[in-house]
Amino acid sequence: MNSYLEAVQAHLTDLPQEESSDLIAYYQEYFIESGLTLEDITAQYGTPKKFATKLKLSYFLDQDDHAQEEEESISAKSRFQLVWLIILGLFASPLLVPLALAALLLILALLMVLLALLFSLYMLDVSLVFGGLFSFISGLGVIFSSPMTTLVFSGLGLLLFGLGILISPFILFLTKWLCLRFLGMIKWLGRKLTQRTRRDQRGEAL
């Protein structure tokens, strides 16, 4: 059992040392109290690498949830690690490979739709702002030869520019909201892979 946990800890290098040590100490105590043999542990939790992947996934999921609850910023690197661990978890079991491929294709399709939508919105906003500026400046260029044209083009330019500025906060909010919903879907997959987490087992012990 000790050799199994040592191998697990060797794969937990992405976690803080204190968190890694706490996890190993917890499972060492849990395995002893449960009377599990090495064969039982391997059958229930898989190889040390697979078990370590689940532990890391559970840790990064909890960290991301905590950051969202406290409205704290989280690095793109941590988010990338989380998504990567979920992908690894999906492909960890041969039985899950077909499901993993289907889930991965679905995620990629949704990501492409999301990126296309956001790209269109940002292009619309940029077009309104710069189109408005161009129309306003063009109107000023004929102010002496055609005052009425100046009023029309400059007025339209100000309207377009103002509309572009006005919808910018909405587009930024929508971007954040859509990204969080997309990440939430990926995290849902991750939680399905970590049903036997430390929190779950503590609940069973109570």
pLDDT digits 0-9 by tens, 161-189: 999 999 999 999 999 899 888 888 887 77
The mean pLDDT of the chain is 80
Confidence of residue 205 (pLDDT cuts 50, 70, 90): very low
Q: Which one is predicted more confidently, 67 or 163? A: 163
Tokens read off for 144: 């002496």
DSSP state of 196: T
How many domains in the chain? 1
At 195 the pLDDT is: 58
For position 196, what pLDDT does the model report? Answer: 45
Output the CA angle 189-194-198, nearest 5 degrees: 150
Range of the domain at 25: 2-205
- Report the percentage of the chain scoring pLDDT > 90: 23
Number of helices (H), then strands (E), in the chain: 8, 0
- 8 A C-beta contact, residue 154 and residue 181: no
Condensed to tens digits (0 to 9), the pLDDT of residues 86-135 reads 777 666 666 566 776 777 788 889 889 999 999 999 999 999 999 999 99
pTM: 0.62
pLDDT at res. 197 = 42
Residue 44 CA to residue 130 CA, distance in Å, equals 60
Q: Are 47 and 54 in contact (CB under 8 A)?
A: no
